[in-house]
């Protein structure tokens, strides 16, 4: 198990390094960009603290949900395979629509349409879920974290006010990496 | 404890000697402790620094974990760039999980972080401290942080070196001061010891001087006492001599006149017995006064060259008779004995006096030894003797095996009339005569006595150096020589009784006489009577011209004039140092008819 985790981490690191070194090619290659995003999705987890109410049970797994389009395919499964979030196992759920009963901790909203994004996210609005949107330009439709491409690299914006309103605490380390912190409503 | 003793004690104590070693040891220990403390401070500073850098690296590593996680090189560079605020940090680097540089910082081009991730841990070298801390994310290592700092700022290093240098300087000063103080004290100690030794030496010499002075003072007192007694004795004896002269002369004249009186044989025998008694008594009195004068050193001496061995040998029969059969007489005579220049009669008297004393000290019999030897009295020996010169002497030692003397007796032995003998058995003048004779002869006398063992009396008489003095011939008894051609004699005597008896005696001998009572009268007579052949004068004359001056004056006018002096004693004019002037004739009072006849003839016959 531990060996497996290490292997995955190794792959991730290689990918990351590769991704950093070849940012230009990353843009050319949608696959690479997706891989970076998939890795980032999983990696947000250590920098965020969820309230206890976010989990249905103390031993419940950490759930990473993908709603809307599923751009990652098996990449995401490979990233999280055997990985753990603290003491919890990590599972991936691909959903057509999300509901609070899904007990997602991270929700990837798979669309670049602000209206669709709002709709997809609406069921868990206000719930302790870290919503991640992908290159949404409309301010009001952005999730707590919104992937952007800056300097030909995958970066992200963070709306800390939104996170706080949902009972989430985002580490300042992560905040410091954000391209710009979205102002709260 | 005296100061000197205290100093000696300090000087001897081991503590004193060990002080510099103890002080040096303490200084060395202090120096070592100081350096150790400084090194420990440095070490503790280093470890503190290392902890500090470790914490800094931890902070950096946790800060950059997100940047590493999300590959945000720019953010990472910002983090490490912020380290420029800390001047101690020389360089820093962040490595990714593959070990490649992710972000770097260096204060100057001289301090470049390693291009590949170094092994985890802390390395201190060249005053630089390098720390490598892993960057952990969810228990997995996602990279590493490298930090290199100056371990110790130059100022601090200089300060520490300065403190150690100060410490060494202080220790050196302490050691130097101690060394100087110790050597000064040691020197002072030695000086004090030397001074105390010198003081002790000075004290010893002072004590010796005091001792010598006391001895000299005692000798001087004794000499002064003897001198005073001598003056007294001499004065009395002189007057007494004149009186005896009158008695003897009167009795002699009486005897001669009686022959002409044609007394009956009975009366003649009776008369002669009475006259003999008077003469004997007067002679004994004269002998006493002679001894008194001898002690007073005012006895006119007639010194001649004497062979002491011959004199002693010649006396042995006399001594044997004097001492009796109970006393054995032994003489030990040294060969090659020097001659002396002294009055032979006085020397004989001295030896007889000593022999008599020895006999009296040995009532049960015993042994008397007379030894002669050449002797030398050196400067050291004569230093405490007021009137004895150093030089060559002939020693005559008279030793008995008698009862000896106590110290008290010894101290007074030479005083006239001091005697330990029963009343009537001794005059107390025997040793006084010996003493006076020896002293007058320029000699030295010393008595060694031990109670119950015996006594030795040592006479030191000066050696005769000039040999041009005739040896005494053997005296021959002859009838008193008479005047040959009624020679004219001028008798000068202030005391009328003495003068008249002298004149009487000389007339009886057939001489023609002129008489005078003082020098001036005598000179007038000499001028008016060229026939005067002999001037017979007393030494002591009144009227400003004494016998010697008279004779000198007379000899200027009449160089061929013969001179005979007479005196109870000879004080200044005739006797120089106790001896007759060469060529000067003297007959001492009291003199007998025969002695006068002999002396007058001797002087007149001399060419």
Q: How confident is the model at residue A108 (pLDDT cuts 50, 70, 90)?
A: very high
CA B405 from centre of chain: 29
B192 in Cβ contact with B7 (< 8 Å): yes
Residues of B with Cβ-Cβ distance to A156 under 8 angstroms: 70
B102 in Cβ contact with B146 (< 8 Å): no
CB–CB contact A17 B70 (8 Å): no
pLDDT at A26: 42
B398 in Cβ contact with B355 (< 8 Å): yes
Determine the distance in angstroms separating the CA of A11 from the nearest CA of chain B, rounded to an integer: 11
pTM value is 0.43
In the predicted structure, residue A120 carries a pLDDT above the cut 70 = yes
Determine the distance in angstroms separating the CA of B54 from the nearest CA of chain A, rounded to an integer: 20
Q: Which residue is closest to A14 within chain B, CA to CA?
A: B98
B417 reaches A (C-beta below 8 A): no
What is the distance between the alpha carbons of residues B372 and B350, in angstroms, rounded to a whole number? 15
**Angstrom distances, CA of residue B220 to CA of B224, B292, B432, B578:** 6, 21, 17, 21
- B70, burial (CB in 10 Å: exposed 0-12, middle 13-18, buried 19+): buried
The pLDDT tens digits of the residues spanning A29-46 come to: 677 888 888 889 888 998
What is the distance between the alpha carbons of residues B61 and B120, in angstroms, rounded to a whole number? 13
In the predicted structure, residue B575 carries a pLDDT above the cut 60 = no
In the predicted structure, residue B578 carries a pLDDT above the cut 80 = no
- The phi and psi torsions of B468 (rounded to 5 degrees) equal -85, 40
A20 reaches B (C-beta below 8 A): yes
B563 reaches A (C-beta below 8 A): no
Of B62, B66, B100, the CB nearest to A177: B66
CB–CB contact A13 B137 (8 Å): no
A5 reaches B (C-beta below 8 A): yes
Q: How confident is the model at residue B331 (pLDDT cuts 50, 70, 90)?
A: confident
Average pLDDT, chain A: 81
Cβ atoms within 10 Å, residue B474:
5
CB–CB contact A155 B138 (8 Å): no
User: What sign has the CA pseudo-torsion B107, B113, B119, B124?
Assistant: negative
Of B73, B96, B137, the CB nearest to A46: B137
Determine the distance in angstroms separating the CA of A67 from the nearest CA of chain B, rounded to an integer: 23
Residues of B with Cβ-Cβ distance to A85 under 8 angstroms: 138
Q: How confident is the model at residue B474 (pLDDT cuts 50, 70, 90)?
A: very low
Of B296 and B505, more confident: B505
- B435, burial (CB in 10 Å: exposed 0-12, middle 13-18, buried 19+): buried
Q: Which residues contact B520 (CB under 8 A, 6 or more apart)?
A: B543, B545
Least confident piece of the model among A94-108, B201-215, B473-487, B494-508 = B473-487
In the predicted structure, residue B475 carries a pLDDT above the cut 60 = no
The pLDDT tens digits of the residues spanning B479-536 come to: 667 777 788 999 999 888 788 888 888 888 889 999 999 889 999 999 998 889 999 9
CB–CB contact A46 B96 (8 Å): no
Show the tokens assigned to A99. 């509901």
pLDDT at B417: 66
Residues of B with Cβ-Cβ distance to A16 under 8 angstroms: 71, 96
Q: What share of chain A is helix, strand, coil (3-state, %, to 5)?
A: 45, 25, 30
Q: How confident is the model at residue A8 (pLDDT cuts 50, 70, 90)?
A: low
Residues of A with Cβ-Cβ distance to B70 under 8 angstroms: 40, 43, 156, 177
Q: How confident is the model at residue B153 (pLDDT cuts 50, 70, 90)?
A: confident
Q: Which residue is closest to B60 within chain A, CA to CA?
A: A173
CB–CB contact B73 A20 (8 Å): yes
* Inter-chain CB pairs, A–B, below 8 Å: 50
Per-residue pLDDT averaged across B263-272, rounded?
87
Of A111 and A184, more confident: A111
A13 reaches B (C-beta below 8 A): yes
Residues of A with Cβ-Cβ distance to B66 under 8 angstroms: 47, 171, 173-174, 176-177
Cβ atoms within 10 Å, residue B25:
11
Of A5, A171, A176, the CB nearest to B75: A176
Per-residue pLDDT averaged across B207-226, rounded?
85
pLDDT at B322: 79
As a residue count, chain B comes to 607
Residues of B with Cβ-Cβ distance to A173 under 8 angstroms: 62-63, 65-67
Of B383 and A144, more confident: A144
A40 reaches B (C-beta below 8 A): yes
pLDDT at A164: 92
Domains of chain A, earliest start first: 37-181 (3.40.50)
Q: How confident is the model at residue A131 (pLDDT cuts 50, 70, 90)?
A: very high
pLDDT at B422: 62
A7 reaches B (C-beta below 8 A): no
Least confident piece of the model among B217-221, B248-252, B382-386 = B382-386
B474 reaches A (C-beta below 8 A): no
Determine the distance in angstroms separating the CA of A1 from the nearest CA of chain B, rounded to an integer: 14
B21 reaches A (C-beta below 8 A): no
Determine the distance in angstroms separating the CA of B51 from the nearest CA of chain A, rounded to an integer: 24
Per-residue pLDDT averaged across B323-346, rounded?
86
A21 reaches B (C-beta below 8 A): no
Residues of B with Cβ-Cβ distance to A47 under 8 angstroms: 66, 69
What is the distance between the alpha carbons of residues B141 and B117, in angstroms, rounded to a whole number? 13
pLDDT at B70: 86
DSSP B484: S
What is the distance between the alpha carbons of residues A70 and B366, in angstroms, rounded to a whole number? 168
Q: How many helices (H) and strands (E) does chain B have?
A: 14, 19
Q: Which residues contact B457 (CB under 8 A, 6 or more apart)?
A: B354, B397, B398, B399, B434, B445, B446, B447
B553 reaches A (C-beta below 8 A): no
Taking only residues 49 to 78 of chain B, the set having a beta carbon closer than 8 angstroms to any beta carbon of chain A reads 62-63, 65-67, 69-73, 75
Q: How confident is the model at residue B467 (pLDDT cuts 50, 70, 90)?
A: low
- The closest alpha carbon to B495, from B516, B468, B475, B478, belongs to B516
pLDDT at B453: 80
Residues of B with Cβ-Cβ distance to A5 under 8 angstroms: 140
pLDDT at B210: 93
Q: How confident is the model at residue A87 (pLDDT cuts 50, 70, 90)?
A: confident
pLDDT at B198: 95
Q: How confident is the model at residue A181 (pLDDT cuts 50, 70, 90)?
A: low
**Angstrom distances, CA of residue B115 to CA of B94, B101, B102, B108:** 10, 6, 10, 16
Of B63, B98, B140, the CB nearest to A173: B63
B183 reaches A (C-beta below 8 A): no
């Amino acid at each position: 198990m531990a060996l497996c985790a290490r292997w995955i981490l190794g792959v991730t690191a290689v990918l990351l390094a590769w991704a950093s070194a070849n940012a230009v090619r990353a843009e050319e290659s949608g696959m690479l960009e997706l891989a970076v995003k998939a890795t980032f999705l999983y990696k947000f987890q250590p920098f965020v603290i969820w309230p206890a109410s976010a989990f249905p049970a103390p031993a419940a797994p950490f759930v990473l949900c993908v709603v809307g389009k599923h751009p990652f395919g098996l990449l995401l499964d490979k990233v999280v395979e055997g990985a753990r979030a603290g003491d919890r196992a990590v599972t991936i759920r691909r959903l057509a629509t999300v509901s609070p009963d899904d007990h997602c901790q991270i929700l990837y909203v798979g669309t670049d349409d602000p209206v669709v994004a709002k709709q997809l996210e609406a069921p868990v609005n206000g719930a302790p879920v870290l919503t991640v949107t992908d290159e949404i330009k409309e301010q009001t439709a952005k999730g707590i974290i919104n992937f952007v491409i800056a300097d030909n690299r995958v970066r992200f914006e963070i709306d800390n006010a939104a996170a706080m309103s949902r009972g989430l605490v985002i580490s300042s380390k992560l905040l410091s990496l954000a391209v710009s912190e979205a102002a709260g409503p | 404890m005296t100061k000197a003793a205290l100093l000696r004690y300090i000087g001897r104590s081991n503590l004193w000697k060990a002080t510099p070693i103890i002080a040096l040891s303490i200084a060395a220990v202090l120096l070592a402790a100081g350096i150790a403390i400084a090194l420990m401070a440095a070490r503790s500073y280093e470890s503190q620094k290392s902890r500090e850098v470790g914490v800094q690296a931890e902070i950096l590593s946790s800060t950059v974990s997100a940047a590493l996680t999300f590959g945000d090189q720019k953010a990472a560079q910002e983090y490490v760039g912020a380290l420029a605020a800390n001047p101690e940090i020389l360089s820093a680097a962040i490595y990714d999980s593959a070990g490649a540089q992710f972000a770097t910082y260096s204060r100057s081009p001289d301090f470049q972080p390693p291009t590949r991730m170094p092994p985890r841990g802390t390395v201190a070298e060249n005053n630089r401290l390098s720390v490598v801390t892993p960057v952990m994310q969810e228990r997995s290592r996602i990279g590493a942080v490298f930090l290199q700092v100056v371990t110790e700022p130059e100022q601090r290093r200089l300060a520490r070196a300065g403190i150690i240098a100060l410490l060494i300087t202080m220790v050196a000063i302490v050691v130097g001061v101690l060394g100087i103080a110790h050597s000064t004290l040691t020197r002072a100690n030695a000086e004090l010891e030397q001074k105390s030794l010198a003081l002790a030496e000075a004290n010893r010499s002072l004590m010796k001087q005091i001792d010598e002075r006391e001895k000299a003072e005692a000798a001087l007192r004794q000499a002064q006492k003897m001198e005073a007694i001598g003056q007294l004795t001499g004065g009395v004896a002189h007057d007494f001599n004149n009186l005896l002269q009158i008695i003897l002369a009167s009795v002699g004249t009486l005897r001669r006149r009686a022959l002409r009186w044609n007394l009956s044989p009975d009366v003649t025998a009776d008369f002669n017995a009475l006259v003999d008694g008077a003469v004997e008594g007067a002679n004994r009195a004269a002998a006493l006064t002679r001894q008194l004068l001898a002690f007073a050193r005012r006895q006119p001496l007639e010194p001649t060259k004497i062979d002491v061995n011959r004199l002693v040998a010649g006396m042995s029969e006399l001594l044997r008779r004097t001492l009796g059969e109970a006393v054995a007489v032994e003489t030990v005579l040294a060969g090659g004995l020097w001659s002396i220049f002294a009055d032979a009669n006085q020397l004989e008297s001295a030896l007889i006096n000593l022999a008599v004393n020895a006999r009296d000290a040995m009532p049960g019999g015993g042994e008397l030894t007379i030894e002669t030897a050449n002797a030398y009295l050196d400067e050291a020996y004569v230093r405490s003797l007021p009137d004895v010169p150093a030089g060559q002497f002939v020693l005559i030692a008279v030793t008995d095996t008698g009862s000896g003397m106590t110290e008290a007796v010894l101290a007074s032995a030479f005083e006239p009339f001091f005697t330990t003998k029963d009343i009537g058995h001794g005059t107390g003048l025997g040793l006084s005569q010996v003493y006076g004779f020896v002293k007058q002869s320029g000699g030295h006398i010393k008595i060694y006595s031990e109670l119950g063992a015996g006594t030795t009396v040592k006479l030191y008489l000066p050696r005769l150096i000039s040999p041009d003095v005739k040896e005494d011939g053997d005296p021959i008894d002859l009838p008193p020589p008479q005047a040959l051609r009624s020679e004219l004699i001028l008798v000068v005597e202030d005391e009328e009784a003495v003068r008249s008896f002298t004149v009487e005696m000389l007339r009886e001998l057939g001489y023609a006489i002129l008489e005078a009572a003082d020098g001036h009268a005598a000179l007038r007579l000499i001028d008016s009577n060229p026939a005067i052949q002999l001037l017979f004068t007393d030494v002591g004359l009144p009227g400003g011209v004494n016998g010697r001056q008279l004779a000198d004056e007379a000899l200027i006018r009449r160089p061929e004039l013969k001179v005979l002096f007479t005196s109870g004693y000879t004080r200044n004019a005739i006797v120089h140092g106790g001896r007759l002037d060469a060529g000067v004739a003297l007959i001492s009072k009291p003199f007998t008819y025969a002695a006068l006849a002999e002396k007058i003839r001797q002087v007149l016959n001399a060419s």
